[in-house]
Structure 1
Amino acid sequence: MSVRPLFPAAVLDQLGEVVRERFGSVAVSEVLGLPGEAALSRGDLSGADRLTRRGSETETLIRLFLLGLPASRAAAEAALRPLPLAEAEAAGLVEEVAGQIRATLDLRVYSETGGPDWWVVSDLGAEVRPGPLHPEHVLGIGSAGLTLAEATVRGPVRRALDVGTGCGMQALHLSEHSATVTATDLSARALRMAATTAALNAKRWDLRQGSLLEPVGQEQFDLIVSNPPFIVGPGFQPGAGGFRYRDSGLPGDSVCAELVRGLPGRLTEGGTGQLLANWIIDGSQSWQERVTGWLPATGCQAWVWQREVAEPGEYVALWLRDAGEQPGSPGWQRRYDQWLDWFAANGVAGIGMGLISMRRTAEQSSQVVCQDVPQAHEHPIGFAVEDWFRRGAWLRARSTQCLLDSRLITAPGLVRSTHSLISAEGWQPALTQLRQPGGLRWELEVDDAVAALVAACTGEPKLGVVLSVLAAAVSAGVDEVTTALTPVVRDLIERGLLVPVDLASESGAGGVR
């Protein structure tokens, strides 16, 4: 199916000239400066408004498309040239309200660090157009999308797929390192937004309409990413309490389970799938058991991060505000009660929120690691995901004896810190931690033996030699020390605090790229 952009080709061409000439990242930054950009990022539109009142063409574009503020016809005509204002109105890019010009869409410049400028088209948010969003609202660049983009593994691939593309933000990133990009969405309006984003950035994507993976059948891809409608709830339908960009219409966490089950079969061998997900936490099983149950028993390596947990009332209030509902309004109270009643009836004690990364393998059994990752980490973090897959494959291929014959090196910049507790005898060491300066920035409590082991991993001695020396130092048997510390070493390698020498040159852990 060929998806048409929102605007005619001539309008797109002229709008492209406008944004490249006076609405790029440098031009916008020069107007807003750090204070204005900070205000905009936290939703303080008044703070940005104060900096855009001098009347320059870039300021007018910021006011129209980022702040949702009106401009005079003369100012809008000057800012949009060479695109005639009448043609912009006819195409639906702007409209006249009470003698002034207002934008009908959000249009903003976006780029990854060190990359080219991109322009993304979406609907104006609730912070710009107060009140509940339209059920078919197309979300723009938001925190969830940025989280996925920063965590995505980047490397040359032949075929990439963006499931639930929305405005096309993830597809833009994929275009930089994928020979072809396919993008799907159930919303016809979202696909037209994505087509407009693609056209403004001279990109060509295969856009397909349908639910989740249905539009691609049994096709396989080297990389699949998805920011799906992952909200956990009663299964609100768009227009009946739900919104297309976030509500799947399926109850509970069914949409995430369905997508996770389907992704491995759509990956080529060695292919990677990554998606944002929410999951139910109840008394029947741990969150780790719940998510692990979504994944196949064979041929998959998966790493699941639980970034945060919300209790039901907190979760509902978060997403009602996200949709522009006002606390205390009849609409708010009705949906709040309905949502919490469903949670209570289904034993939902909390909702986990995080990222699932998976890789298809040819192995007979799957490996699924679920971890709480609440700490601040390096940005972007996709390199650390790739490193984790690489180290995991290395570990699975090595028996205990092979591990003992390996040479390991500490992650660059690893920090050891010791905390002391006051007592009658003075300060007494109470806690020793190893802290990773980059990547996931793990902090692990260790004893003196583990700290000494890590310090001895300089890349020269084999692990077995290090353990033998350690055993002699603590007057213990080598077999006893090996049995006790081998699982610890495997965990340190998995987390990237120790790195096999033969992987170190390929690793991004701790700043090695």
Structure 2
Amino acid sequence: MTAPAPLLDPADVDRLRAALGDFTVAAVHDLLGPAGQAAHSQNDLSYVRRVVRGAGAGHLATLVALFLLGDEVDESAARAALAPLALEAAIGTGLVEVSAGAVRARLDVRPYSEAGGTDPWWVVSDFGSDVRAGPLAADHVLGIGNASLTLAQATPRSPVGRALDLGTGSGIQALHLGRHADHVVATDISGRALRLAATSAALSGQHWDLRAGSLLEPVAGEEFDLVVANPPFVVSAGVDGYEYRDSGLAGDGVCQALLTGLPGVLAPGGTAQLLANWIVPDDGDWRGRLAGWLAGRGCDAWVWQREVAAPSEYATLWLRDAGEVPGTPRWNSSYDAWLDWFEGNRIVAVGMGLVTLWRSDAADPVLVLEDVPQAVEQPIGPELPAWISRQRWLAGTADADLLDRPLRAAPDLVRTTDALAGDAGWSVAAGRLRQSHGLRWEVEVDDAIAAVVAASTGAAPLRLILPLLAASLDAAAEDVERASLPIVRDLIGRGFLVPDELTPEAPA
């Protein structure tokens, strides 16, 4: 098959890139100022327009009005802002349209960057319903949004050989992969999305191997060191509504297909990072549901459930996302059909979150499925290799060996206590340990466990620390050991305690 081509020929790509040269994230932030940036992040485009009008009719203000706000601009201003790209060329490729002397963009062209990156990027996509009111087109191509940013921030950025962006859309994840992968393959079921992704790549000075097809079909028989996926994961009856969100598979079928299929395309030691939604059945056991898909596939897994939405909340979220208007006949029909389907399939909620897979080829893989509701430090991707290292270490370390290993408390821990007032004064009701950085876990601990953490300086193993604790509690050493080891293992897994031989840079 012929590789999808950018919307513009190479010479016009160069001309448009020259026109966009000062249309960067930093320049737009400077133009909008803190108040305008906050308004833009909250989709308050009316205030952003006020800021842009106040900035005058300069080159940058025209590009913001045209490509971020979707406003009409005077033809002469548009011609000047797009130079050296001819306005006629921009019209001919579908980038803009002109009517009665006014020019309006047909596509969102947005500056984008990665923390620490020096090369400017531009992402080409469709305007969202906040800019172009009304229901989206079935072949709508998403731009930069919360989901894509979440995935980008959660992906480790160590150098890799081959990387796959599954369901690339406008190419956001592939842009990131292009900075640390030798070869990038990007796939999508939508031919239109692939053309916009090709345009994003060309404008941003990158080249990817773009392929059309559904899910893993375009890469059958191949292996990758890193896979990222922001698939059409919406849980529904399996309708073919919007290509960006509806897979055509009923329920959480796309989640099942990827969790069972991705292990087959990971190279030894390879990692996959994907966003997913899954059914919470009426017995509440979402963990058992996903663990059944993951078991026995040679991959360890960490599943974060970040949010849980009731059926009514979930349907409302996605209908609004598609630009549907509450109270209209179209909204009411879609809403009722969706909720009827949830009820008929005894679905009480939908879990939303993130899945990390890494190929370990272990006969008994590590499967951790848990709620991670707290705000984490972004980007969180750099924390994942250390987490993987700790899980592998725990899986291979028996309790007898664990007792002989010196541990170190993480340097960023904070201990807090809650006390209750009583007749005898204040008494401690609960104690907590909290991480100041990274995943920012908070766990309840009593004084005994807090003492173990405080004594973990790397100087003495647990075999020496726990008997001292038992003596202070006037308890049998074996009882303290039996009660403490599961808690110590959990603290190691979460990064409160770290074995001396582990480093955060790479899996063991």
**How high is the TM-score relative to the length of structure 2?**
0.97
Post-superposition shift, 1:10?
Answer: 2.0
* CA displacement 1:477-505 (0-9 Å, x = unmatched): 22221111111111000000111112246
Post-superposition shift, 1:292?
Answer: 0.8
Post-superposition shift, 1:97?
Answer: 2.8
8 Å Cα contact 2:405/2:462 also seen in 1: yes
Post-superposition shift, 1:435?
Answer: 0.4
Q: Which residue of 2 aligns with 1:158?
A: 161
8 Å Cα contact 1:36/1:47 also seen in 2: yes
Change (3 A) 1:505 1:149: closer
Q: Which residue of 2 aligns with 1:16?
A: 17
1:75 correspondence with 2:77: yes
* CA displacement 1:33-72 (0-9 Å, x = unmatched): 1111111111011111011111011000000000000100
SS in 2 for 1:439: coil
Q: Which residue of 2 aligns with 1:130?
A: 133
Aligned mates of 2:284, 2:262 — CA distance in 1: 24
Q: Which residue of 2 aligns with 1:6?
A: 7
* CA displacement 1:392-451 (0-9 Å, x = unmatched): 111112111211111111111200001111223332211100001111111101111111
8 Å Cα contact 2:386/2:504 also seen in 1: no
* CA displacement 1:282-337 (0-9 Å, x = unmatched): 12451111111111324211000000100000000000000000101111111101
SS in 1 for 2:327: coil
Which deviates more from structure 2 when the two are superposed, residues 121-130 or residues 395-404? 395-404
1:410 correspondence with 2:409: yes
Q: Which residue of 1 aligns with 2:89?
A: 87
For residue 201 of structure 2, the aligned residue among 198, 203, 208 is: 198
Q: Which residue of 1 aligns with 2:438?
A: 439
SS in 2 for 1:75: helix
Post-superposition shift, 1:98?
Answer: 3.6
* CA displacement 1:94-120 (0-9 Å, x = unmatched): 101343100000001111112132110
For residue 222 of structure 1, the aligned residue among 208, 222, 225 is: 225
Which residue identity is paired with 2:61? E
8 Å Cα contact 2:15/2:85 also seen in 1: yes
Which residue identity is paired with 2:105? A
SS in 1 for 2:301: strand
Which residue identity is paired with 2:110? R
8 Å Cα contact 2:383/2:504 also seen in 1: no
Aligned mates of 2:449, 2:107 — CA distance in 1: 57
8 Å Cα contact 1:300/1:365 also seen in 2: no
Post-superposition shift, 1:27?
Answer: 1.9
Alignment of 1:454-473 (within 5 A): 454-473=453-472
SS in 2 for 1:120: strand
Aligned mates of 2:465, 2:178 — CA distance in 1: 46
For residue 59 of structure 1, the aligned residue among 53, 58, 61 is: 61
* CA displacement 1:158-181 (0-9 Å, x = unmatched): 000010000000000111110000
* CA displacement 1:233-272 (0-9 Å, x = unmatched): 11111xxxx1000000111000111011000111011100
Alignment of 1:330-341 (within 5 A): 330-341=329-340
Post-superposition shift, 1:224?
Answer: 0.4
Which residue identity is paired with 1:174? L
Aligned mates of 1:291, 1:384 — CA distance in 2: 23
Q: Which residue of 1 aligns with 2:307?
A: 308
Alignment of 1:21-32 (within 5 A): 22-32=22-32
Post-superposition shift, 1:363?
Answer: 1.6
Q: Which residue of 1 aligns with 2:383?
A: 384
8 Å Cα contact 2:74/2:103 also seen in 1: yes
Aligned mates of 1:428, 1:39 — CA distance in 2: 47
SS in 2 for 1:440: coil
Aligned mates of 1:294, 1:362 — CA distance in 2: 16
SS in 2 for 1:121: strand
1:144 correspondence with 2:147: yes
8 Å Cα contact 1:376/1:441 also seen in 2: yes
Q: Which residue of 2 aligns with 1:319?
A: 318
Aligned residues: 503
Which deviates more from structure 2 when the two are superposed, residues 221-230 or residues 359-368? 359-368
| Structure 1: unaligned runs, 5 residues or longer | 509-513
1:169 correspondence with 2:168: no
Post-superposition shift, 1:204?
Answer: 1.1
1:45 correspondence with 2:69: no
Change (3 A) 1:309 1:285: closer
SS in 2 for 1:268: strand
Which deviates more from structure 2 when the two are superposed, residues 295-304 or residues 126-135? 295-304
SS in 1 for 2:104: strand
Q: Which residue of 2 aligns with 1:34?
A: 34
8 Å Cα contact 2:385/2:505 also seen in 1: no
Q: CA RMSD in A?
A: 1.3
For residue 179 of structure 1, the aligned residue among 178, 182, 186 is: 182
1:494 correspondence with 2:493: yes
Which residue identity is paired with 1:65? F
SS in 1 for 2:258: helix
Q: Which residue of 2 aligns with 1:511?
A: none
SS in 2 for 1:452: helix
SS in 1 for 2:175: helix
Aligned mates of 1:507, 1:270 — CA distance in 2: 11
Which residue identity is paired with 2:423? A
Aligned mates of 1:422, 1:15 — CA distance in 2: 69
Which residue identity is paired with 1:399? A
Change (3 A) 1:505 1:101: closer
Which deviates more from structure 2 when the two are superposed, residues 420-429 or residues 434-443? 420-429
1:118 correspondence with 2:126: no
Which residue identity is paired with 1:43? N
Q: Which residue of 1 aligns with 2:260?
A: 261
8 Å Cα contact 2:162/2:184 also seen in 1: yes
| Structure 2: unaligned runs, 5 residues or longer | none
Aligned mates of 2:483, 2:416 — CA distance in 1: 23
Which residue identity is paired with 2:224? F
SS in 2 for 1:503: coil
Aligned mates of 1:296, 1:273 — CA distance in 2: 16
Aligned mates of 2:280, 2:99 — CA distance in 1: 48
Which deviates more from structure 2 when the two are superposed, residues 302-311 or residues 396-405? 396-405
Change (3 A) 1:7 1:414: same
* CA displacement 1:129-167 (0-9 Å, x = unmatched): 000000000000000010011011210100000100000
Aligned mates of 2:31, 2:50 — CA distance in 1: 11
Aligned mates of 1:448, 1:179 — CA distance in 2: 50
Aligned mates of 1:217, 1:144 — CA distance in 2: 26
Aligned mates of 1:229, 1:98 — CA distance in 2: 39
Which residue identity is paired with 2:115? T
8 Å Cα contact 2:385/2:504 also seen in 1: no
Post-superposition shift, 1:507?
Answer: 7.8
8 Å Cα contact 1:261/1:296 also seen in 2: no
